[in-house]
C-alpha cells in the first residue's frame, strides 16, 4: 500500500516493505520523490526523514532539470542519430526498393520509397535498433548466466517510458528498453546485469546492492553515466546514498 505525505510543495509516495532501511529516490524526468520504508515506520518518522534530506532532494531535482533532452526526431537529411553512444548523421535516399539501413563510418543511410511518411521512417529505424540489440544482448546474457549462476528463460525488447529495464523473477524473464541501442554498450551490459541480479534478489535490498558490488563494482558509475546522457525515454532515478 502506498501513501502520500506532503512536505511543502513536495508530494512523496511512501511505501512500507520488509526492508531494514529507508530508501529515498528522485525519479526523472520531473523529479518526483518516492520513499520505501520498513513496515513499522510511522508516517511522522518518514516525514522527518524527508525533511532532513530536502537539500539532497533539491540537488537531484536540479540535476534532472539541467539534463539534456533529445529533441523529437524527424528522420530527415543530416539529422543526428545515435548508435552505441556514437553520433551519426542521417542520409535519406528515396528509392523504389524495400526500406533498409546502411551504417558507414559516421553516417546512417536510410533507403526508403519516395513519399514515405515520418512514422514509417521511424518504424524502419526502430526495427534496425531492435536488430542491433538482438545481436548484442544474447552474448551478454550467456556471459552473466555463467558468472551469476542464473538462467534467463527469455528476454524482451520494448519501448519503455519509465525505466531502462525490468525483470519478472517468477518467469525468469528480463525486459530491456530499445533506447539502450543508442547508449554505449557498457551501459547496456550494466542494465542486463542489474536485471539478472533480480533473478537472485527480486527487490532493491541491501543484498541486491551487495551482489552488484561483488559482480559489477562499477555499477554506480555506469548508472550515473546513463543518467547524464540525453534523455528520450525516462531513465533511472537517483537513490539517496
Cα separation, 231 vs 69, whole angstroms: 5
- Answer yes or no: are the C-beta atoms of 110 and 127 closer than 8 Å: no
**pLDDT tens-place string over residues 91-144:** 999 999 999 999 998 999 999 999 999 999 999 999 999 999 999 999 999 999
pTM assigned to the model: 0.70
- 136 near 180, Cβ under 8 Å? no
Fold of 80-239: Zincin-like (3.30.2010)
What are the pLDDT digits (tens) for 167-199? Answer: 999 999 999 999 999 999 999 999 999 999 999
pLDDT at 207: 92
- What value does the mean pLDDT take over residues 45-54? 92
Q: Highest mean pLDDT range out of 48-57, 67-76, 219-228?
A: 48-57
Separation between Cα atoms, residue 78 and residue 59, nearest integer Å: 36
The CA distance from 110 to 236, in Å, is 31
Domain spans of the chain? Answer: 2-66, 80-239
Amino acid at each position: 500500500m502506498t501513501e502520500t505525505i506532503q512536505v511543502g510543495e513536495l508530494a512523496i509516495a511512501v511505501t512500507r516493505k520488509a526492508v531494514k532501511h529507508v530508501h529515498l529516490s528522485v525519479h526523472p524526468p520531473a523529479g518526483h520523490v518516492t520513499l520505501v520504508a520498513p513496515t513499522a515506520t510511522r508516517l511522522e518518522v518518514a516525514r522527518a526523514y524527508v525533511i532532513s534530506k530536502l537539500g539532497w532532494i533539491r540537488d537531484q531535482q536540479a540535476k534532472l532539470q539541467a539534463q539534456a533532452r533529445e529533441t523529437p526526431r524527424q528522420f530527415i537529411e543530416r539529422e543526428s542519430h545515435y548508435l552505441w553512444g556514437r553520433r551519426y548523421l542521417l542520409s535519406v535516399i528515396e528509392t523504389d526498393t524495400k526500406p533498409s539501413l546502411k551504417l558507414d563510418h559516421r553516417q546512417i543511410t536510410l533507403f526508403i520509397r519516395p513519399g514515405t511518411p515520418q512514422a514509417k521512417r521511424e518504424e524502419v529505424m526502430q526495427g534496425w535498433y531492435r536488430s542491433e540489440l538482438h545481436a548484442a544482448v544474447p552474448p551478454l546474457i550467456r556471459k552473466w548466466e555463467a558468472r551469476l549462476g542464473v538462467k534467463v528463460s527469455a528476454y524482451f525488447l520494448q519501448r519503455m517510458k519509465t525505466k531502462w529495464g525490468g525483470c519478472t523473477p517468477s518467469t525468469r524473464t528480463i525486459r530491456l528498453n530499445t533506447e539502450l541501442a543508442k547508449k554505449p554498450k557498457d551501459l547496456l551490459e550494466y542494465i542486463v546485469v542489474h536485471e539478472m541480479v533480480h533473478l537472485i534478489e527480486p527487490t532493491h535490498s541491501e543484498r541486491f546492492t551487495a551482489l552488484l558490488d561483488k559482480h559489477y563494482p562499477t555499477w554506480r558509475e555506469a548508472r550515473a553515466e546513463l543518467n547524464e546522457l540525453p534523455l528520450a525515454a525516462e531513465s533511472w532515478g537517483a537513490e539517496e546514498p
